Chain A
Amino acid sequence: MPATIHELTAAYGRGDTTPSRVTEEFLARIAKLDDKIGAYLTVTADQARAAARASDERYRQGRPLGPLDGAPITLKDVFCTKGVRTTCGSKILESFVPPYDATVTERLAKAGCVMLGKSNMDEFAMGSSTEHSALKVTRNPWDLARVPGGSSGGPAAAVAAGLAAGGLGTDTGGSIRQPAAFCGVVGLKPTYGRVSRYGLVAFASSLDHPGPFGADVTDTALLLGAIAGHDPMDATSIDAPVPDYAGALERDVRGLRLGVPNEYFIDGMDPEVEAAVRAAIDVLKGLGATLERVSLPATPHALATYYVIAPAEASSNLARYDGVKYGLRVPGHDLIEMESRTRAAGFGAEVRRRIMLGTYVLSAGYYDAYYGQAQKVRSLVRRDFDAAFGRVDLIVAPTTPNVPFKHGEKADPIAMYLNDVFTIPADMAGVPAVSVPCGFTRGGLPIGLQLIGRALDEATVLRAARAYERATDWHTRRPNVG
């Protein structure tokens, strides 16, 4: 079975296979292998078959909707899907059935994508391992004893294991790029506002970025092209034209200026990660890019800043889960008791911790010292990127300081948070960033290279990623999952 969406849809166009046949193969693989991987929370087989049949018909008439028509994909269970339960990995939403589609859900359907199902995640997207899902354990397809990363571990593992040809996730502190790196696939966090958040279950609204996972850069570019663009339903959506991302991929990187930030090569990082990333940077140099050292001095403060801003926004966003309009309700003798019992029973430990932290930093007497100060430090992080992008076109760095860890290994919350130290800054600045596979450890675990670009310059990020991919074969390796 071809591994990528662009190969599949080319094969449909030639009449070599059909969306229905391929959808059946994916559904059969899910039935056979997902007990082992645990990528899916809900498989939508009937809807997938109906969508595939409609796609078959369009190809038969020679009128496919475009390069994604008939592509079997999965959505992280954070995106609303009309009539299909959307859990956000939480007990509080375990039986929630949205009455409408997220904008991205609708746009992928209009592009002809076949949704195979909804995939697992850390509860409310809070985590870096998918271990905080209240509903399921997801395993890393490269080593089942290890985590797939998070919070979008479900879609990343599904693409890596061949249980979907592509997917969508969300990235608030690294939740697309880190699992992409851990699972050996491509994951892109677009510019803030480039992709609509309408119909996305909110975590931290100023930091939430929906974005694609692909088996390679071309698929990632195709998916981004389908979901990007202005949406009047999201007031933070950017009204700017969407370039042809996939069309501009094959240009070379000669003369492109790459910045290597000192702050992303730190004591304590895995030496195999550092070696692979430095080797990847040399590959890009060999392709004609120029290298320059840059400094992003606010980087060491980014993690603490994030753990004020994200929980603060989360504590406000998650106030809506009160046992009244939807979701779980645990009875109580008055409204406050009902709400307090519902939320205690419905939220897992990490979500409760972040709600408490966010409520604390926003509470009277602490607001300026924590939230106000964090917003100022966030400005310093943005300024770093602005200054760097005055001199270079892209920043190249590791996606994570380490490789996939074992289930249960990071039980301490702060140890888990440290995983996102290289991904959080791009979320805070809202600039686009991709993770592409750039090697494996001796033990066979994938490593990710991160390319960070200027706001709205996804095209350059993807072009450099594609140039690297063309020169290497890491992206063609697939885990042996049976």
Chain B
Amino acid sequence: MISRDDVLRVARLARLALTDAEVETMREQLSAILSHIDALKAVDTAGVEPTSHAVPQFNVMREDEPRPCFPVEEMLANAPDRAGDFFRVPRIIEE
């Protein structure tokens, strides 16, 4: 069972603004889902290696050669806000 505080902490980590009603719904639903997932804790996995990918992963390298990249205008075309050749965001550092 997870608490309201857990929900608020996770929502902040996940950058999700929730209304009070949404916090309560989320708490109930996450608790219900986690109670199913908790069954995993009883599975004996002593000595079992974790699988991160179904196909074993190796570092994939390529030659360090310059390649064409996307034009700045195309990359900025979907930006909600821009200033010159940059993405514009709300002020982070106070003056």
Contact = CB atoms under 8 A, between A and B. Distances in A.
Interface stretch (A232-240, A251-259, A389-397): A232-240
Contact of A315 (B14, B32, B79, B92): B14
A376 interface: yes
A356 B55 CA distance: 28
A326 B78 contact: yes
Q: Is the interface of A mostly helix, strand, loop or mixed?
A: helix
Contact of B78 (A96, A206, A357, A380): A96
Contacts, number: 168
A308 B37 contact: yes
A356 B41 contact: no
Interface residues of B, number: 50
A343 B16 contact: yes
Given A344-B17, A356-B16, A380 B48 contact: yes
B15 A343 contact: yes
Given A325-B87, A340-B15, A343-B17, A334 B45 contact: no
A440 interface: no
B21 interface: no
A414 B30 CA distance: 10
Contacts of A356: 7, 10-11, 14, 16, 26, 30
Contacts of A374: 40
B90 A378 contact: no
Given A325-B79, A356-B26, A373-B41, A430 B48 contact: no
A71 interface: no
9 contacts: A97-B77, A192-B54, A236-B53, A304-B36, A308-B40, A329-B80, A359-B10, A359-B13, A373-B40
Given A307-B37, A370-B40, 9 more contacts: A96-B78, A301-B43, A337-B90, A347-B16, A352-B16, A356-B16, A361-B37, A369-B41, A430-B54
Interface of A: 95-97, 99-100, 191-193, 206, 232, 235-236, 238, 298, 301, 303-305, 307-308, 315, 319, 322-329, 331-341, 343-344, 347, 352-353, 355-357, 359-361, 363, 369-370, 372-380, 382, 413-414, 428-431, 455
